Amino acid sequence: MTMPLVDTLDFEKGGGLVPAIVQDARTLETLMLAYMDRAAVDETVKSGEATFYSRSRGGRWRKGETSGNRLKIVSIAADCDNDALLLQVDPVGPACHRGTRSCFGDGEGALGVGRLGALERTIERRAKDAPAESWTAKLIAGGVKRIAQKVGEEGVEC
């Protein structure tokens, strides 16, 4: 998002604020809904990290300021009426203040694409941590040929 696009946003319709839907850029999972005033949008664009306006506290706050759970901006898009934003982010830690990945649902992640993202994150952890009791870690250690063989075996068991 470039600064001239900020000038096209309709802050007046929302009393000086625009809603911002925050989505994981990789999994497309909806993480949270927040609000932004003009200064929060400007700060987000300049810093590359999500800054919002807290309606309850009456001021701006950068996500992760206290917790370290930041939202790195991948892209920002305005909706067709220029009165809402979609922030696609690379989350560093949970997005929700309750410690869950998303503010929506029970913290288990969304259905569909979100579930695939959760599976991908689990596989990445197994590859990185290589716990001795993990069948997935053992399979990864066997290399691409072994993984492909196992996927083929599982695929024909339907």
62-104 pLDDT tens trace: 998 889 999 999 999 999 999 999 999 999 999 998 989 899 8
Write a three-state SS string for 114-158: HHHHHHHHHHHHHHHHCCCCCHHHHHHHCHHHHHHHHHHHHHCCC
The pLDDT of residue 52: 97
* Domain annotation for the chain: domains and CATH numbers: 3-110 (3.10.20.810), 114-155 (no CATH)
Q: What is the pTM of this model?
A: 0.71
Token pair belonging to 112: 């569909």
39-68 pLDDT tens trace: 999 999 999 999 999 999 999 999 988 899
